[in-house]
Amino acid sequence: MPEFKLLAGHFGTLKKTIQGMPSDATLHSIMLKISKQFQSGIFYINMWPFSGTWMIVSTPSAATQIQKLNLTKPAILRQPPETVTGGPSMMTMHGETWKKWRALFNPGFNPAYIIGLAPNITDEVATFCAQLRKKAQQGEVFPLESLTTRLTVNSICSVVLDTQLHHQIKDYPLATALQRQINWTSFGTTFNPLKRYFTIRPLVLWYNNKVMDRIIGGEVDRAYRTPPDHPSKSVISLALREYLQEQASSNSTRSLAEFKRLVAPQLRVFLFAGRNTTSSTLIYTYYLLAQHPDILAKIRAEHEDVLGVNPEEVQGRIKEDAQLLNKLPYTTAVIKETLRLFPPSASMREGRPDAEIIGENGQRYPTVGCNVWTLTVALHHNSDHWNQVESFTPERWLVGPEDPLYPVKGAWRAFEFGPRSCIGQTLAMLELRIALAMTIRQFDITPAYDEWDSIHPATTSKEVNGHRAYQAERGAGGAHPADGFPCRVKERF
């Protein structure tokens, strides 16, 4: 473990590490820097006075052991999300309750089912393209995240609720209330006590909950009223039908109002968990492609071969045959490699007395009294398990086991593994493939940090791990591209 002081614990190590980094660098990035000191891939760090002891894990074998132990989530990871979602959701539930809700929504996120909703997403991406075209015509530097987040929120609502928010064009109350809720929720990632404890937070959160519950309740009512002979393909409609069939078969008397109360947090968690992760991954894909013109040329060539020579006809091609999206292996490899270099999240669990992790050196690590953190960014940047670890190399996802580039089993955990893997990963990958297919040949999207920094000069470091577009805190414990990814957009045709 890092150097320990009797009174300060490991706070000195944290302070020293933070001093050499941007002030808004994510806690993930801070821990990545510390983890490089520990070759075993496992170490303990005491987070007093903000939390207890954490076990940080960055090896595939240890991460797999944690997954199989089926540990519960700690309170520090349950309370903030439940503030955003308005109650327990699949993100925070455990045991039989979690199994019930996961089973209810699994059919709606099945790959064979979700591909049928691709036309909905293409409509949202078409609006995104129109917004990019406006920015190109204006010729100004702007933060791309302001557009990609709205695209993601719209796409999720289109698929999950079968409703068009038009949030890319104007503010929509559900999305606005969710964003306020996220901004006002304390995720414990700031070390500033004024921000953590002294706010008018409760009043703002209460108001946001009222707004979101009213809108989501109305959408559930609409799904309930949908004629049986014209069923909606939305995820919520499918879940509602499953729920009603379950209630009928068990002679339960639970009402629609009860379903609305219980399902609202699940719908909110889809928006909360998916909006930033997919948005940031799309941005980082543009960022990495702009830095690697050879890879950009390859992905464009694949799109031309599979989707046709005219980029403006891609939406129509996908609507006619969404299975074309499953014929883009290089595009999928680019996305997976982006997620390796810039994973949007990590997994933390609560240790217990009977659970221990065996390191690759054979040493046993007790988990009792610890929060056990599979630090995905450290796992993905572990040179012991990745060849050319800092290189953007999509080809590693296309080679066979005999190739040195071939990924070690369990070393890539962007969506985690096992029963509790991300339920929305199929939707996220689908949205990313569609967004790239409809934009990458129509636009050149290039970072403009030099121009941004000349207007917004900084007095501290603005790089992490060699990247100006480092992962930054912007509330909600999320990993956002620094400064929202200032960029320029040019039309190619």
* Contact criterion met (CB below 8 Å) for 416 and 67: yes
The pLDDT mean for the chain works out to 90
Query: 7 falls in which pLDDT band (50, 70, 90)?
Result: low
Bridge partners, 444 (sequence order) = 490
Question: Among 44-53, 247-256, 421-430, 470-479, which stretch is predicted with the lowest mean pLDDT?
Answer: 247-256
Q: Is the pLDDT of residue 339 over 70?
A: yes
* Contact criterion met (CB below 8 Å) for 57 and 66: yes
* Contact criterion met (CB below 8 Å) for 468 and 418: no
Q: Is the pLDDT of residue 338 over 90?
A: yes
Q: Is the pLDDT of residue 59 over 90?
A: yes
Q: What is the mean pLDDT of residues 329-353?
A: 97
Nearest to 222 by CA among 258, 255, 256, 269: 256
Q: Is the pLDDT of residue 149 over 70?
A: yes
Can you give the pLDDT at residue 5? 60
Question: Among 18-32, 63-77, 163-177, 247-261, which stretch is predicted with the lowest mean pLDDT?
Answer: 247-261
Can you give the pLDDT at residue 253? 61
Can you give the pLDDT at residue 477? 57
Q: Is the pLDDT of residue 275 over 90?
A: no
- Give every CB contact of residue 414 below 8 A, 6+ residues apart in sequence: 336, 339, 340, 343, 344, 376, 380
Q: Tell me if the bond preceding 481 is cis, omega within 30° of 0.
A: no
Can you give the pLDDT at residue 111? 94
Query: 481 falls in which pLDDT band (50, 70, 90)?
Result: very high
Q: What is the 3-state secondary structure (H, E, C) of the chain?
A: CCCCECCCECHHHHHHHHHCCCCCECHHHHHHHHHCCCCCCEEEEECCCCCCEEEEECCHHHHHHHHHHCCCCCHHHHHHHHHHHCCCCCCCCCHHHHHHHHHHHHHHHCHHHHHHHHHHHHHHHHHHHHHHHHHHHHCCCEECHHHHHHHHHHHHHHHHCCCCCCCCCCCCHHHHHHHHHHHHCCCCCCCCHHHHHCCCHHHHHHHHHHHHHHHHHHHHHHHHHCCCCCCCCCHHHHHHHHHHHHHHHCCCCCCHHHHHHHHHHHHHHHHHHHHHHHHHHHHHHHHHHHHCHHHHHHHHHHHHHHHCCCHHHHHHHHHHCHHHHHHCHHHHHHHHHHHHHCCCCCEEEECCCCCEEECCCCCEEECCCEEEEECHHHHHCCCCCCCCCCCCCHHHHCCCCCCCCCCCCCCCCCCCCCCCCCCCHHHHHHHHHHHHHHHCCCEEEEECHHHHHHHCCCCCCCCECCECCCEECCCCCCCEEHHHCEEEEEECC
Cα–Cα distance measured from residue 489 to residue 138, given in angstroms and rounded to the nearest whole number: 9
Give the tens place of pLDDT for each residue, 154-181. Answer: 999 999 988 888 889 999 999 999 988 9
Give the tens place of pLDDT for each residue, 208-245. Answer: 999 999 999 998 898 888 877 777 888 999 888 888 88
CATH fourth-level superfamily of 86-329+421-491: Cytochrome P450 (1.10.630.10)
Burial of 69 per CB tally in 10 Å (0-12, 13-18, 19+) = middle
- In terms of residues, how long is the chain? 493
Residue 468 CB neighbours (<10 A): 19
Cα–Cα distance measured from residue 109 to residue 321, given in angstroms and rounded to the nearest whole number: 19
Q: Is the pLDDT of residue 365 over 90?
A: yes
Nearest to 476 by CA among 55, 7, 83: 83
* Contact criterion met (CB below 8 Å) for 68 and 363: no
Half-sphere exposure of residue 428: CA atoms within 13 angstroms, side-chain side:
24
Q: What is the mean pLDDT of residues 102-127?
A: 95
pTM of the model: 0.93
422 in a known ligand binding site: yes
| Start-end of CATH 1.10.630.10 domains in the chain | 86-329+421-491
Buried b (16+ CB within 10 A) or exposed e, 25-64: bbbbbbbbbbbeebeebbbbbbbeeeeebbbbbbbbbbbb
